[in-house]
């Protein structure tokens, strides 16, 4: 994690996570609900990292996607000038504060949730190499073969919080994925962001996939 400072002109590294695999493995073993058979240390690799805005969650600030399709959700922790530590996801603020003292920059990133690959994608192991995330929609480039990819889309149905998954084959290999600008309006409310794990904006998103074909 890097900081641009109060002026936006600095560039300082604050936190470095070197044990993402170990944290994910411990989380899966502790929950004992999901199979961790695809979480192999020999092939574990993070292919993309995406910030989660405050409008979607008050507790999660970062989502990382592994090449096997695991999604790792992180929250940052901040210390306080007056002593003690903030709760997970306590976003730093400049200037003075209340009784706890002035908030300072994040000092630690902690894994808080792991979501395994969706069973709806199929029984084949995913081999992801690119991803794009916007407004609760995740688009993934999967190596279907040496010459072609498939695109996998994961989103959540807002009313019942169900996860929806779809995939389609592409001609050629994916070079880049980008989200088109969203139409104004439809942001998740602050109350929804504070009450749920990830709040969903009520607007559709479109993506562009660039391939070599």
pLDDT digits (tens, 9 = 90+) for 167-192: 899 999 999 999 998 776 655 555 54
Pairwise CA distance, residues 133 & 37, whole Å: 25
Task: Give the residue-averaged pLDDT of 50-68.
Answer: 89
pLDDT of residue 209: 93
Task: Count Cα neighbours of 203 within 13 Å in the Cβ-side half-sphere.
Answer: 16
- Give the H or E element holding residue 25: helix 20-31
Band (152; pLDDT cuts 50, 70, 90): very high
Q: What global pTM score does this model have?
A: 0.77
Q: Smallest Cα–Cα separation from 51: which of 60, 40, 42? A: 60
Cα separation of 188 and 190, whole Å? Answer: 7
State the chain's maximal CA–CA distance in angstroms.
60
What pLDDT, in 10s, does the model give residues 66-87? 998 899 999 987 654 444 444 4
Residues 6+ apart with CB under 8 A from 19: none
Q: How far apart are CA 201 and CA 137, in angstroms?
A: 10
Checking 24-29 for CB contacts under 8 A at 24+ apart, the result is 24/70, 24/72, 24/111, 24/114, 27/111, 27/113, 27/114, 28/114, 28/116
CA distance 34 to 116: 7
Q: Burial, 28: exposed, middle or buried (Cβ in 10 Å; 0-12, 13-18, 19+)?
A: middle
| Dihedral (Cα; 160, 162, 191, 135), 10-degree rounding | -130
């Amino acid at each position: 994690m890097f900081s641009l400072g109060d002026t936006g002109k600095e560039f300082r590294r604050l936190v470095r996570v070197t044990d993402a695999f170990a944290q994910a493995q411990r989380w899966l073993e502790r929950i004992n609900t999901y199979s961790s058979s695809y979480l192999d240390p020999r092939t574990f690799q993070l292919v993309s990292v995406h910030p989660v805005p405050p409008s979607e969650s008050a507790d999660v600030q970062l989502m990382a996607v592994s090449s096997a399709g695991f999604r790792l959700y992180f929250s940052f922790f901040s210390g306080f000038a007056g002593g003690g530590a903030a709760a997970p996801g306590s976003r730093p603020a400049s200037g003075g504060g209340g009784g706890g003292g002035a908030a300072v920059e994040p000092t630690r990133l902690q894994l808080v949730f792991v979501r395994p690959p969706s069973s709806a994608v199929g029984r084949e192991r995913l081999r992801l190499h690119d991803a794009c995330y916007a407004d609760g929609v995740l688009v993934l480039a999967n190596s279907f073969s040496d010459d072609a990819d498939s695109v996998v889309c994961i989103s959540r149905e807002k009313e019942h919080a169900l996860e929806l998954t779809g995939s389609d084959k592409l001609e050629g290999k994916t070079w880049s994925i980008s989200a088109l600008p969203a139409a104004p309006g439809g942001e998740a409310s602050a109350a929804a962001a504070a009450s749920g794990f990830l709040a969903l904006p009520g607007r559709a998103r479109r993506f562009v996939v660039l391939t070599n074909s």
